[in-house]
Every structure is written in C-alpha cells, then in structure tokens.
Amino acid sequence: MLDDFGLFKALDKEADRLRDAGIQVLWRAQCAARLPSPVEIAVFRIGQEAINNVLKHAQASQVVLNLELHDEMAIVQVDDNGTGFAHDPHRNGADHVGLATMQERASLLGGRFSCVSEVGGGTRVRASVPAMVQGAAQ
C-alpha cells in the first residue's frame, strides 16, 4: 500500500482500523506528496504504532490525524481524546517499548519525536523528520 499509493493513503488505510472500532477519525492536514522511501517508511511506522496504541490502550472516541510537510520536515501527529497515561520513572520502560521504537525511528533520520499524555486528558504523538535524503528534496 505504501509503495503503490503513498504515505497519506497508507496511513488512512491504517485509520480504517480506528473507524472499524467505532472511533471517529478526523484529518486536520493531509499531504499527498511522495517522499524518499526511508522517510515514508519511518513516518508510516510511527503513525501505525500510534494508531495501534490508540486501539490497545486509549479508550478514545475520537482521533485527529495530521500529515504535512512544513519547513522541509515531514510531520505526523496523532491526537486522541482517550484516557491518557502517566509515565512512571520507576518502571523499566517495558510498558513503553512502542514509544521508544517511534523515538528511535525518528532519531535515525535526524528527526524529533514527542509524546505528551495526561491521565484523563488524551495523548498526542508527534514526529517530524527531514523530508530530504542526502541533500535532495523529493
């Protein structure tokens, strides 16, 4: 799907899993531009993991998705209105392996990742990675 139809279509197909679970999906921004394969793969996997987390943990009724190019950065953001969570610094992090993986994917391409969550206040996952590979914008 990603190779044939691009990042936006592939992420929207993943969002179908949210819709199938009865969660309202809204797109705040959509970008249909094709990006270098490593960028598309990383952004897709980050978005996919964020969607997985919503389905597994959030108990959300609504998810807002954002996919855009801004200042030569590919940005994906997933906001849910679910239960949120508190990070426990005394745990070994095993309960947040998906977050660590998303962080690593963004970092490997020189990007940034953040996850902001509040118990009872939902969660926002945001990743931005350079849309350029080896100095050539795609």
pTM of the full structure: 0.90
Would you state the pLDDT for residue 132? 75
Segment 54-66, tens digit of pLDDT: 999 999 999 999 9
Report how far residue 136's alpha carbon sits from residue 134's, in angstroms, rounded to the nearest whole number.
6
Would you state the pLDDT for residue 105? 96
Segments making up each domain of the chain, as ranges:
2-137
Would you state the pLDDT for residue 122? 97
| CATH class (in words) of the domain with range 2-137 | alpha beta
Strand 24-29 to 62-70 pairing: parallel
Would you state the pLDDT for residue 40? 96
Are 23 and 59 spatial neighbours (Cβ–Cβ below 8 Å)?
Answer: no
Q: Please provide residue 48's backbone torsions phi and psi, each rounded to the nearest 5 degrees.
A: -60, -45
Would you state the pLDDT for residue 93? 53
**Which stretches of the chain drop beneath a pLDDT of 70?**
88-95, 133-138
Detail the DSSP E strand segments found in 2-118. Answer: 24-29, 62-70, 73-80, 112-118
